[in-house]
Amino acid sequence: MKRLVAQREKALARILENGNFVRGSITSVCSKCNRANCICATKSSGKAYRLTYKDALQKTKIVYVPKSRLPEIRKLLANHRLLRKLIDQLMALNVEIFKKSTDPWSKSCG
């Protein structure tokens, strides 16, 4: 039982370490300026990056991501994937602690 509680504390600490995260996906699009006589009307002027995610009402939101901040947003997305795994582990540990606990209000259930 103590081993399970220690594992749960470790998982909670890892969750706190990775608290900065975003959910969504990065897409790249070719950008054009839409000026009539611009060279980008015939050639692509470059890639633009966007973070796409759904809000609480399941409405799609899009946020422009500057190329210089692309590594940062990728790290935040990776943190979200890690957090999902950690939450699954934490849930499994909590179920095991619950099953082994005789007193539902014991301190190990916090």
Q: What is the pLDDT of residues 6-61, one digit of tens each?
A: 988 998 888 888 788 999 999 888 766 666 666 566 665 677 889 999 999 999 99
Residue 109 included in any domain: no
Residue 108 included in any domain: no
- Tell me: pLDDT of 106 over 60: no
Q: Which domain holds residue 6?
A: 2-103
How many domains are contained in the chain?
1
Burial label, 15 (beta-carbon count in 10 A; 0-12, 13-18, 19+): middle
How far is residue 45's CA from residue 67's CA, in Å, rounded to a whole number?
A: 14
Residue 110 included in any domain: no
- Please give the average per-residue pLDDT across 77-91, as a whole number: 93
Nearest C-alpha neighbor of 17 from the set 71, 85, 82:
82
* Statement: the pTM of the whole predicted model exceeds 0.75: no
Residue 73 included in any domain: yes
What does the chain come to in residues? 110
